[in-house]
Structure 1
Amino acid sequence: MNIQIKTKRILDIVIASLLLILCIPILGITAIAILIKEGRPIFYVSQRHISKTAKISVVKFRTMQHDAKSPKYNLNERFMRDGYLDIPLDCEVYTGIGKFLERSQIVEILQLYNVLFHRMSLIGNRPLPEENLLLLSNFPYWEMRFGSPAGMTGITQIVGKHNLNPIERLELEILYTKVYLNGNVLLCDLKILWGTILMIFMGKTISHNKAKEILNKCQKARL
């Protein structure tokens, strides 16, 4: 394990610990708001792949209607694109408070526990549900996206998952893995973290070409 990967893990532990402490009031307020506004369940638990064979439980605040998986919404048929399920925020399946939680990324805060227990990293390619994996396996070299730890946010998030087609998204995820293995992953993670902050608080995203440029530069800039 090279020094960059070791440092990345240390930073994951330190930052995740601090964020969890700071976010305790937000977690409490959010849970109460969901309970009052939408009722139980407050949380949604799903199994996600962090590799071809390994899965973890991902706990999020519930942002969708109770019957989100019913044929009434047909989410997979409407929004599944070659292995990626991208449900727009204007979809009727989201609750009122759920749209805010998704837009602000508060929905992701509970995943800090997975970061602490070394199941995920702060930055990386997003873990995928089983049904996404089956469709994604039709693409060549798709396994390479799992060559780096799964993350809470990643390069495709700062472009905007709705702004990428599946091929572009997979291309960026594979490039990130190459940076993780052979490039300056700390510099790359810093750029992605800054991009995530701009996206959450200012609604700013970057283009697919800009994302490729960042990854290619970081791949060549190994310390």
Structure 2
Amino acid sequence: MTDNFRKIALISKNQQLIESISEALKGACDVLPFSNGIIFYNHLAKSSGDFCLVLSDASLQGVHGLPLKETMDKLGYGHLPFFLLVDRLSREDILKAIKAGIADLFIKPVNRKKLRTRIAFQIKHPISRLKNRKITKIQSYKIPFLKRLLDLVVSGLILLLLSPLFLIVALLIRIESRGPVFYYSYRVGTGYNIFKFYKFRSMDPDADARLQQLKHLNQYNQPGSTHTRVEGEKSDPALNSHSVKELCEFCEQAGGGCLQPLYDDNQMVCEKILLAKKNSNQDSAFIKIKDDPRVTRIGKFIRNTSIDELPQLWNVLKGDMSLVGNRPLPLYEAEKITTDKYALRFLGPAGITGLWQVEKRGRGEMSEEERLSLDNDYVKNFSFWFDLKILLRTVPALFQSENV
């Protein structure tokens, strides 16, 4: 057996868990940790023969639970045994896991001896019926020749002509606040590929650290939706403790009390209700804050005129993205978009401007569903001439009235 078939992918952000499992499996196999599914998939796409098994630290319905397993199946990696490490487990969860093809489930804290035994067995006795199975991999997107030629010519000329403007903006940014002139973040583009995404810095140097404090201002968490609590409404204590005595409809019909109780001291709440309320309060996939207090004065100007986007021409020149396409997403947004309906946006080109920008940007509030729909529409209809139309419509969209 080759070394490749003794490597295990562990998807977790819990450093203590990673160290514990690595120690438990020492000598039996190598554990390669990944902080999220996007980074794991990028590695998997480049080195498909590296792993014999996937261990994911997630709830069954979490982003790295069943949704990740389903995505792997659809992208041609369903032959890899998929183990889940969960906090709790019900009979219903077990049935769902079996139906979805989850190879094994372990409740945390994980019994290290049992996990080692189970994985050792999996390595020594791989599923033989999958050896000759034909695996269909997702085809990588390739930029059409005319589109790539347009990208090279236009981005090269603009970079050359606007080089004096680059120098002026860089000087103004440094005068107003300390920190780098350029800002980059890791973004997910076509086919879930990750790359460094460049912009002029328009925020305070500690902007990323302050994001968590401002999530309540997220433009995509519309009032009245399941993502946002109405002003004046008291928060439901079931979200923070198990102190509410409620029964779900199923338990009420069954009679005789709750079938899935959770206890906190001497009080109880139905697990189905608790999970439903937690799921309804999950953050939106997209984050955009109106009148963001982290934006500097020069940052506000270069944002409203879209000058801050100009360094992305370097990404276009490199081939990371195109002039026109769907906006590449930060990792924390992209890893929430894994269903067929939403993931379609990653099967087309990533771009500086696109259908979303010219249709909606600066024209009032927009729901997450609308933005995803526009991204999908572009993937279904993009062409060289469609791109030219979007580029022409982008010019008036550059000068917007909203501070987003």
What does 1:113-124 align with in structure 2 at a 5 Å threshold?
A: 113-124=314-325
5+ long unaligned stretches in structure 2: 1-142, 221-283
- Superposed displacement of residue 164, structure 1: 2.0
SS at match of 1:85: coil
How many angstroms apart in 2 are the aligned matches of 1:189 and 1:134?
A: 27
How many angstroms apart in 2 are the aligned matches of 1:75 and 1:134?
A: 20
SS at match of 1:126: coil
SS at match of 2:196: strand
SS at match of 1:112: helix
Compared with structure 1, are the counterparts of its residues 74 and 80 closer, same or farther at alpha carbon in structure 2 (3 Å cutoff)? farther
Across the aligned residues of Structure 1 and Structure 2, the Cα RMSD in angstroms comes to 2.2
**Contact 1:52/1:143 (8 A) holds in 2:** no
Match of 1:187 in 2: 385
The alignment-based identity, stated in percent, is 35
Verify: 1:37 aligned to 2:182, yes or no: no
Structure with more relative contact order (C-alpha pairs < 8 Å, separation 6 or more): 1
SS at match of 2:208: coil
- Superposed displacement of residue 107, structure 1: 0.6
1:189 counterpart letter in structure 2: D
Match of 1:215 in 2: none
SS at match of 1:9: helix
- Superposed displacement of residue 105, structure 1: 0.7
How many angstroms apart in 2 are the aligned matches of 1:199 and 1:80?
A: 19
Name the larger-Rg structure. 2
Verify: 1:58 aligned to 2:197, yes or no: yes
- Superposed displacement of residue 77, structure 1: 4.1
How many angstroms apart in 2 are the aligned matches of 1:70 and 1:80?
A: 19
Compared with structure 1, are the counterparts of its residues 76 and 196 closer, same or farther at alpha carbon in structure 2 (3 Å cutoff)? same
SS at match of 2:217: helix
**Contact 1:69/1:75 (8 A) holds in 2:** no
Verify: 1:155 aligned to 2:155, yes or no: no
**Contact 2:304/2:401 (8 A) holds in 1:** no
Match of 1:221 in 2: none
How many angstroms apart in 2 are the aligned matches of 1:143 and 1:26?
A: 37
Verify: 1:98 aligned to 2:299, yes or no: yes
Segment of structure 1 superposing worse, 106-115 or 46-55: 46-55
Aligned residues: 195
SS at match of 2:207: coil
Match of 2:327 in 1: 126
SS at match of 1:163: coil
Query: TM-score scaled by structure 1?
Result: 0.80
Segment of structure 1 superposing worse, 19-28 or 162-171: 162-171
Compared with structure 1, are the counterparts of its residues 69 and 114 closer, same or farther at alpha carbon in structure 2 (3 Å cutoff)? closer
- Superposed displacement of residue 144, structure 1: 0.9
Compared with structure 1, are the counterparts of its residues 18 and 164 closer, same or farther at alpha carbon in structure 2 (3 Å cutoff)? same
Verify: 1:176 aligned to 2:390, yes or no: no
2:161 counterpart letter in structure 1: L
How many angstroms apart in 2 are the aligned matches of 1:34 and 1:71?
A: 20
Verify: 1:166 aligned to 2:305, yes or no: no
Compared with structure 1, are the counterparts of its residues 37 and 67 closer, same or farther at alpha carbon in structure 2 (3 Å cutoff)? same
Verify: 1:109 aligned to 2:310, yes or no: yes
Deviations 1:78-114 (A, max 9, x none): 31732111122x2211111101111111111111111
2:348 counterpart letter in structure 1: S
1:115 counterpart letter in structure 2: V
How many angstroms apart in 2 are the aligned matches of 1:71 and 1:114?
A: 27
Deviations 1:13-55 (A, max 9, x none): 1101101101101111000010111222222110000135310
Larger % of helix: which? 1
How many angstroms apart in 1 are the aligned matches of 2:311 and 2:389?
A: 23
How many angstroms apart in 2 are the aligned matches of 1:100 and 1:117?
A: 27
